[in-house]
Structure 1
Amino acid sequence: MGGTDDGEIFKSLMPCDPSKIPNVPVTDYLFGFLKKHLHAVADNPWLVDVCTGKRVLFGEVEELARKVASGLARRGFAKGDILYFVSYDIVNIGILQLAVWLLGGATRGSFQIEQPEEFRRQIDQVQCKFVAVDSETVQSIKKAIALADYECTLINVGDSQVQDTLEFSDLANDDGTAFPGATDIDPENDVLFICNTSGSTGTPKGVMHTHKNIVSMMASFEGKFAGNGYDESMLLTSGNFAISIFLVSCVYLAIGNTVYCIGRYKKEEYLDHVLKYKPKKMSLYPYISSWLARSAELQKHDFSFLKEISLGGSVMDPTTMRLLQKGFPDAEITTIYASTETVAVSIYVKRPELPQFGYSPDGEEMVSSGILCPRIQAKILDLETGKLLGRNKLGKLHIKGMHFMKGYLVEKGKEPNRSCFDEEGWFDTGDVAFFDSTGQLFVRERVSFMFKYYMHFVNPTEIEAILQEHPAVQMACVIGVPNKETTNLAKAIVVLKEGNTVSEEELLKLVADKLPFYKHLYGGLQFADSLPESKGRKLDRVAILKMYS
């Protein structure tokens, strides 16, 4: 593929009419869109918690949300307030969030097994008056509130009674008379949702999204998801606090399709959920898909009901992608590049002129991250000089778009931190990437995860992809172990498939035979029973580095 020495600003290849972005609150957009479909889907479920069987029907959603909003308003919740939630519940949290948004408030959720000190930090930031809990999280939250010396109303959204809490059922049975009606919401500036980053590079940061961010993103894809019918159900593995479940549940509420949510992901139960609910679509993190692609169970069942599998969260290696394509031959498998801060940036679109696999400028086979989403611009800057690069040149990816975050939460009432944006509005993704000659984006790795061997940059995922080609390997993680002479030495931690064996020497040779000298595993190779995940269900490279360096 030919390159160019000229720098380039890349734009979306997807058509989009900017005049079609309504300047309305999210709930107006969602409920207005849903009304077009309600005649056909009123008796269908919107959200289903596959672990408990709890569900809520499309025909119930708006009225229930207004009742809960009335119950909250009756107890003092007002425009600009923030509801914090730490619970495993899916359905009641979904309704509670809609109620808060109707009142002009915002929501922030958290990973359920943080320490009380971290809960306290997040509660201090949002200065919340209400916290949603369940029987498993309430004690940690009470400790956090005591540490903060703070008064909060605890709302129990779980299925078991919890002492000294307001039961969700009391809100759901409100007579609705305290609902204030239309709230004066400024879509461009008023915050709707504060989601936490995964914490892979440090303490989780609160990412602030406005009504306009989310409506803009949804309106960009209106033509894609409108009119697809009402049997396009999606199975999600993300926790209720993640940006992915927030976005998918909003989109699926608008279009009248069901979201099956796994609030408590357990590997050994995953395929049972898939086979029971038979979703048309699945969304997977590469960390989960790496196991799934190599599972012997794929050959034992008929998965022809699956029509689409979307992968996001981190870089996908070619071997795992091909194994998934073989294991799910009836499903189109696509990749999405997104982040908590920017929402969707690019998506792979199956077209004859857009190959799903390609090669980096230095010869590494990679899986496409797709073409830029509507209203997104991108540029690639040289890692050392900052010079604007053209096609087929590796550098740091910067992007600009209409649905990016307002900024990082500092604390309620203060201006958000926008230090990751430059004066022209470009967002520094921290990722190394390139655009090929067709205009497709290929994301290689986070800059912070790459390391140097002498003067050579080493990409961990490239070595991991080679290791995962071996039929005995379930998963691999490569880290840079500090070394005074070379700067770093590449070391691999490998998880084998159950019942399989392979020697360290064989895997070291596999890498040495396929990659140049500076990517060899001079730091050695170590076997492990499992690898830790971050709160966002990605490989926790920070923890792995601490454990094995």
Structure 2
Amino acid sequence: MMQVNRSTDYGEILQPRQFPNVTLTDCIFQHLRKHIDAVAEKPWLIDVCTGKKVLFGEVEELAKKVASALACRGFAKGEILYFVTYDIVDMAILQLAVWLLGGATRGSFQTEEPEKFRREMNEVHCKFVAVDSETVLAVKKAICLCDTECTIINVGDANIEGTLRFSDLTKDDGLAFPENIGIDLENDTLLISNTSGTTGMPKGVMHTHKSFVSLMSCCDELSAENGHDESILITANSFAVSNAWTTSVYLATGNTVYCIGRYRKEEFIYHVIKFRPRKLFLYPYISGWLARSPELQKHDFSFIKGMTIAGSVIDPTTIRLLQTAFPNSVTNMAYGQTECLKISLTLNSESCQKSLIGYSPDGEEMVTSGTLFPLIQAKILDIETKKLLGCNKLGKLYIKGLHLMKGYFVEKGKQPNRSCFDKEGWFDTGDVAFFDSIGQLFVRERVSFIFKYFMHFVSPSEIEAILQQHPAVQMACVIGVPNRETTNLAKALVVLKDRETTTEEELLKLVADKLPFYKQLHGGLQFVDSLPENKGRKLDRVAIVEIFPREYVFYLLSIK
């Protein structure tokens, strides 16, 4: 049983049953060995786009062979493998091999320019890089710009001149696999994962073995009684922290992960029907579209028993639509950040499922982010005064715990940037949130997205949630248009569903009927064909604010 200690200021602080003092790979393989006889012939990972897979019974031996082969080629403790690839399966084995050697991995979005690759490769003093047939040319250009020598590993195994085939690494005899590497669990970097760039340039987040293992020790999924049939379908790039976390947990538990390494909206439901996973891991950009897809009415999804939604704030209408479309599924909301891994999670109990939707202190209908995860502390401070707030008070969320990053990566050999931590170790999440009277966390959105109308704070997500209640609306984004008199005017950008229509007047009235005067769309509403997304497939509010206010100002000038 978990021991619960309560703190008036910080909510619940839960201690895990056990916190093993081991590396992440040791933690994973120790758990896997307990039930390897039952799952040896089952696939751990299946890339649904290519059909490539690897079995549980193969993973540990393959990882050690690849680690031995890398060691023979000079890969040493502290090295950082840089990778740019769509491959999921081979890259997962390669990543385990690097971790076994006391190294770290850093991936990048596949369609970046060579100059971006060059900068990141220089930061990590890259000597080893993994590519596939689609990314190799851009990475080779980056290597030329670096003017350095790199061992290029081809994880797709296409015939590419000047590269080392991944399959050749797996043929190693394993004799060069080093023993007693001496990994510092708290300080040695395991993974550098880029943020999604929601509020600016993506940053490299450094995680250690300790942050991953401490979180893994808190997971109920590691209990043996949960069995080995909890397959999940995820849409994640190989470089995403969520992909590393999910695949690690499912490897430890002997459960299959169906990976969509290359997401195409029109193929998503096909993959679900073909592979029939028990669970879905959904980002808001998928869940918002999926909930409103007419395809949901054409198929039987009773085999879906659970959905986890994470990545950013989601509106109550989407949750209700999904619960209606998947009546046999338990819906879990997870809140975390690349910097913090998991912060909170909803529970599976019937009462928790019924209370996924609550109300903010100012009456806004919101979706809960659940209760604090074990080993996490949290506090809410007033945005302007920094005063500590009690429950049912909106403010900025700060957290402290073992799951947090070491810091932002600057350059190999240099101390990480910890400017987002205060002297006591509290991390500034940048999110506006509150705790209700029973300890549930509700996250509204990023502080940087909120704007003022006269002296009132206006939350874009609150207005967006109202707009998305309309049956014709597929997506909505609200921005603050600078105004000399009021500071800002709220303006909505709306994407309609295919073959659906509505009017600006109808949507403006919908908002006016449900929200107070200062939260209404005084800047008007504009229908658009699409909205820009960042690398993490979240709304790129930075790009939107740069594009549309400028157009709107020109429009105002033209009608004066």
2:331 & 2:14 partners in 1: Cα distance?
19
**What amino acid does structure 2 have at the position aligned with 1:429?**
T
Q: Percent identity between the aligned chains?
A: 68
CA 1:329/1:353 → structure 2, altered by over 3 Å: closer, same or farther?
Answer: closer
2:178 paired with 1:180: yes
Q: Aligned residue for 1:524?
A: 524
- Please show how residues 58-77 of structure 1 align to structure 2 within 5 Å: 58-77=56-75
- Please show how residues 459-474 of structure 1 align to structure 2 within 5 Å: 459-474=459-474
Kindly indicate whether the alpha-carbon contact (under 8 Å) linking 2:221 and 2:253 is maintained by their aligned counterparts in 1. no
| Unmatched 5+ stretches in structure 2 | 1-6, 550-560
- Please show how residues 320-469 of structure 1 align to structure 2 within 5 Å: 320-351=318-349, 354=352, 355-469=355-469
The one-character-per-residue Cα deviations of 1:8-52 (angstroms, maximum 9, x if unpaired) are 4223365634xx211111111111110001010000001110000
The more displaced of 508-517 and 255-264 is: 508-517
**What amino acid does structure 2 have at the position aligned with 1:304?**
S
CA 1:75/1:223 → structure 2, altered by over 3 Å: closer, same or farther?
Answer: closer
CA 1:289/1:390 → structure 2, altered by over 3 Å: closer, same or farther?
Answer: same
Q: Aligned residue for 2:97?
A: 99
SS of the residue corresponding to residue 477 of structure 2 reads: strand
**What amino acid does structure 2 have at the position aligned with 1:461?**
S
What is the CA distance between 1:225 and its match in structure 2?
4.5
CA 1:11/1:117 → structure 2, altered by over 3 Å: closer, same or farther?
Answer: same
**What amino acid does structure 1 have at the position aligned with 2:137?**
Q
Kindly indicate whether the alpha-carbon contact (under 8 Å) linking 1:156 and 1:162 is maintained by their aligned counterparts in 2. yes
Q: Aligned residue for 2:32?
A: 34
The structure, 1 or 2, with the larger RCO (C-alpha pairs under 8 Å, 6+ apart) is 1
Kindly indicate whether the alpha-carbon contact (under 8 Å) linking 1:13 and 1:371 is maintained by their aligned counterparts in 2. no
What is the CA distance between 1:547 and its match in structure 2?
2.3
Give the one of 116, 122, 129 matched to 1:124. Answer: 122
Kindly indicate whether the alpha-carbon contact (under 8 Å) linking 2:15 and 2:375 is maintained by their aligned counterparts in 1. no
1:257 & 1:72 partners in 2: Cα distance?
28
1:484 & 1:448 partners in 2: Cα distance?
20
**What amino acid does structure 2 have at the position aligned with 1:533?**
E
SS of the residue corresponding to residue 9 of structure 1 reads: coil
Q: Root-mean-square deviation (CA), in Å? A: 1.3
**What amino acid does structure 1 have at the position aligned with 2:107?**
G
Q: Aligned residue for 1:4?
A: none
**What amino acid does structure 2 have at the position aligned with 1:215?**
V
Kindly indicate whether the alpha-carbon contact (under 8 Å) linking 1:311 and 1:334 is maintained by their aligned counterparts in 2. yes
The one-character-per-residue Cα deviations of 1:460-494 (angstroms, maximum 9, x if unpaired) are 11111110000001111111111222111111111
Give the one of 287, 308, 311 matched to 2:309. Answer: 311
2:146 & 2:41 partners in 1: Cα distance?
44
The one-character-per-residue Cα deviations of 1:487-528 (angstroms, maximum 9, x if unpaired) are 111111111111101111111111111111111111221112
Could you list the runs of 4 or more consecutive aligned residues of structure 1 that deviate by over 6 angstroms after TM superposition?
A: none
Give the one of 87, 90, 94 matched to 1:89. Answer: 87
The one-character-per-residue Cα deviations of 1:140-194 (angstroms, maximum 9, x if unpaired) are 1111122222221111111422111111111111121221133211111111111
Q: Count matched residues.
A: 541
**What amino acid does structure 1 have at the position aligned with 2:396?**
K
What is the CA distance between 1:220 and its match in structure 2?
1.1
The more displaced of 183-192 and 334-343 is: 183-192
1:57 & 1:351 partners in 2: Cα distance?
33
What is the CA distance between 1:351 and its match in structure 2?
3.7
SS of the residue corresponding to residue 48 of structure 1 reads: strand
2:535 & 2:221 partners in 1: Cα distance?
33
Q: Aligned residue for 2:554?
A: none
Q: Aligned residue for 2:144?
A: 146
**What amino acid does structure 2 have at the position aligned with 1:409?**
F
CA 1:223/1:160 → structure 2, altered by over 3 Å: closer, same or farther?
Answer: closer
Kindly indicate whether the alpha-carbon contact (under 8 Å) linking 1:8 and 1:389 is maintained by their aligned counterparts in 2. no
**What amino acid does structure 2 have at the position aligned with 1:263?**
G
CA 1:212/1:318 → structure 2, altered by over 3 Å: closer, same or farther?
Answer: same
Q: Aligned residue for 1:538?
A: 538
The one-character-per-residue Cα deviations of 1:59-102 (angstroms, maximum 9, x if unpaired) are 00010001111111111100000000000000000000000011
| Unmatched 5+ stretches in structure 1 | 1-6
The more displaced of 354-363 and 327-336 is: 354-363
The one-character-per-residue Cα deviations of 1:399-422 (angstroms, maximum 9, x if unpaired) are 011111000001000111111111
